[in-house]
């Protein structure tokens, strides 16, 4: 892959000053993406906002796609940490409502999340990351279901663990694009759907 098409940072920020510059770039890019969208943002605009030359920006990131990917990776890391934390804190009686509320608020309020992820299917640089996030979340959920419902066959647990994050994630990403009242209704219906599915699942015998 050529440097022009690369979506990896040009350099890993080993020194404190370099790490600070990368943080500055990503913070400013996040705010601009949030306000103007990814397509409406240029590398020049990011450089101006971060108070650096365009040449300096290119020393850290070869193109806008690399910046998008770096911000998306941070979203994935935050979401995975949130999932692990909530799975450790809540039992099956409330976990559905807790997770859906937490994820919906994250999707709605995390700067640039909607701008970056609403077009994931059209952005090849995010496709593999999205699949890795799905598998990581499914693995955590599978372990949770194994602890809570050991009678379920492993294959059934894994299918549920893959399906639930994908289905819920898709609907929640849709919800954040809707007016608030419509989004609230969709979130409520999603909770009912997932709760009914889990109730049916855990009532099954091996």
In the chain, the N- to C-terminal Cα span, in Å, equals 49
Quickly state the pLDDT bin for 11 (edges 50, 70, 90): low
Q: How far apart are CA 35 and CA 58, in angstroms?
A: 22
Q: For residue 5, tell me if it sits in a domain.
A: no
Q: How many residues are listed for the chain in this entry?
A: 206
Shared domain check, 183 and 146: yes
Quickly state the pLDDT bin for 4 (edges 50, 70, 90): very low
Q: For residue 105, tell me if it sits in a domain.
A: yes
Shared domain check, 118 and 29: no
Q: How far apart are CA 178 and CA 114, in angstroms?
A: 11
Q: Which residues contact 24 (CB under 8 A, 6 or more apart)?
A: 50, 51, 52
Q: For residue 101, tell me if it sits in a domain.
A: yes
pLDDT 10s digits, 135-158: 999 999 999 999 999 988 999 999
Shared domain check, 193 and 113: yes
Give, in order, the Cα–Cα distances in Å from 153 to each of 16, 33, 165, 175, 206: 49, 44, 19, 33, 6
pLDDT 10s digits, 152-162: 899 999 999 99
User: Is the CB of residue 13 less than 8 Å from the CB of residue 22?
Assistant: yes
Domain containing residue 186: 69-203
User: For 138-182, what is the HEC assignment?
Assistant: HHHHHHHHHHHCCCCCHHHHHHHHHHHHHHHHHHHHHHCCCCHHH
Q: For residue 157, tell me if it sits in a domain.
A: yes
* pLDDT for 111 beyond 80: yes
Shared domain check, 146 and 188: yes
Q: How far apart are CA 141 and CA 152, in angstroms?
A: 13
Shared domain check, 175 and 89: yes
Q: For residue 4, tell me if it sits in a domain.
A: no
Shared domain check, 20 and 58: yes
> How many structural domains does the chain have?
2
pLDDT 10s digits, 55-87: 999 999 999 999 999 999 999 999 999 999 999
* pLDDT for 206 beyond 80: no
Mean pLDDT of 14-24: 81
Domain end (from 38, 62, 86): 62
Domain end (from 46, 62, 78): 62
Domain end (from 30, 45, 62): 62
Q: For residue 9, tell me if it sits in a domain.
A: no
Q: What is the CATH number of the domain that holds 30?
A: 1.10.10.60
User: Is the CB of residue 67 less than 8 Å from the CB of residue 46?
Assistant: yes
Quickly state the pLDDT bin for 127 (edges 50, 70, 90): confident
Mean pLDDT of 121-133: 82
Shared domain check, 198 and 182: yes
């Amino acid at each position: 892959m050529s440097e022009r098409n690369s979506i990896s940072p040009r350099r890993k920020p080993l020194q404190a000053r370099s790490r600070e510059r990368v943080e500055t770039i990503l913070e400013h890019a996040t705010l601009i993406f949030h306000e103007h969208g990814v397509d409406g943002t240029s590398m020049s605009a990011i450089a101006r906002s971060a108070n650096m030359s365009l040449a300096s920006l290119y020393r850290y990131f070869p193109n806008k796609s690399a910046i998008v990917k770096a911000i998306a990776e941070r979203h994935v890391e935050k979401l995975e940490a949130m999932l692990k934390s909530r799975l450790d804190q809540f039992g099956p009686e409330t976990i559905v409502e807790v997770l859906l509320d937490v994820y919906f608020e994250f999707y709605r309020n995390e700067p640039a999340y909607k701008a970056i992820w609403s077009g994931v299917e059209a952005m090849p640089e995010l496709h593999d990351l999205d699949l890795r996030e799905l598998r990581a979340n499914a693995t955590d959920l599978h372990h949770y279901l194994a602890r809570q419902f050991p009678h379920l066959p492993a294959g059934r647990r894994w299918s549920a663990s893959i399906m639930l994050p994908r289905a819920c994630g898709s609907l929640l990403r849709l919800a954040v694009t809707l007016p608030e009242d419509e989004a609230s209704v969709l979130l409520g219906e999603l909770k009912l759907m997932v709760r009914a599915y889990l109730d049916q699942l855990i009532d099954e015998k091996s």
